[in-house]
Homo-oligomer: A and B are copies of this chain.
Amino acid sequence: MDLPSSVVISEEGPREGFQIEPGPIATADKIALIDALSACGLRRIQIASFVNPKHVPGWADAEAVIEGFTPREGVEYSALWFNERGLQRALAVREKLTLTGFISLSASEPFAIRNLNRDRAGQIEAMRKYVRVHREAGVPIAKIIVMAAFGCNFAGDVSPAEVVETVSDARAIARDAGVEVQDVTLADSMGWATPRRVADAIGAVRESFDDLRIALHLHDTRGQGIACAYEGLRLGVTAFDAAVAGLGGCPFAGQPGAPGNIATEELALLCEEMGIATGLNIEALIEAGRLAERIVGHRLPSAALRSGTLAAFRRRAA
Q: Taking beta carbons and an 8 Å cutoff, which residues of A are in contact with B?
A: 1, 3, 110, 151-157, 191-192, 194-197, 199, 220-224, 226-227, 229-231, 255, 257-259, 263, 266, 269-270, 273-275, 299, 301-304, 306-310, 313-314, 316-318
Contacts and interface: CB of A to CB of B under 8 A. Distances in A.
A153 B315 CA distance: 10
Contacts of A191: 307
Given A226-B226, A275-B196, A303 B303 contact: no
A258 B1 contact: no
B269 A223 contact: yes
A314 B291 CA distance: 37
Contact of A223 (B155, B197, B302, B317): B302
A3 B274 CA distance: 22
Contact of A266 (B1, B223, B258): B223
B313 A274 contact: no
Contacts of A152: 317
Contacts of A157: 314
Given A153-B313, A310-B151, A259 B303 contact: yes
Q: How many copies of this chain?
A: 2
12 contacts: A152-B317, A156-B317, A157-B314, A192-B310, A222-B303, A222-B304, A222-B307, A223-B263, A223-B266, A224-B269, A226-B227, A299-B299
Contact of A156 (B259, B301, B318): B318
Nearest to A263: B223
B313 A259 contact: no
Contacts of A226: 223-224, 226-227
A293 to B, nearest CB: 12
A224 B258 contact: no
Nearest to A200: B1
A273 B301 CA distance: 23
Contacts of A151: 310, 313
Nearest to A194: B273
Contacts of A222: 266, 269, 303-304, 307, 309-310
Nearest to A302: B223
Q: Which 4 A-B pairs have the closest CB atoms?
A: A223-B266, A156-B317, A223-B303, A258-B307
B270 A156 contact: no
Given A199-B1, A223-B303, A269-B222, A155 B317 contact: yes
A17 to B, nearest CB: 16
Contacts of A316: 153
Given A194-B273, A227-B226, A266-B224, A153 B259 contact: no
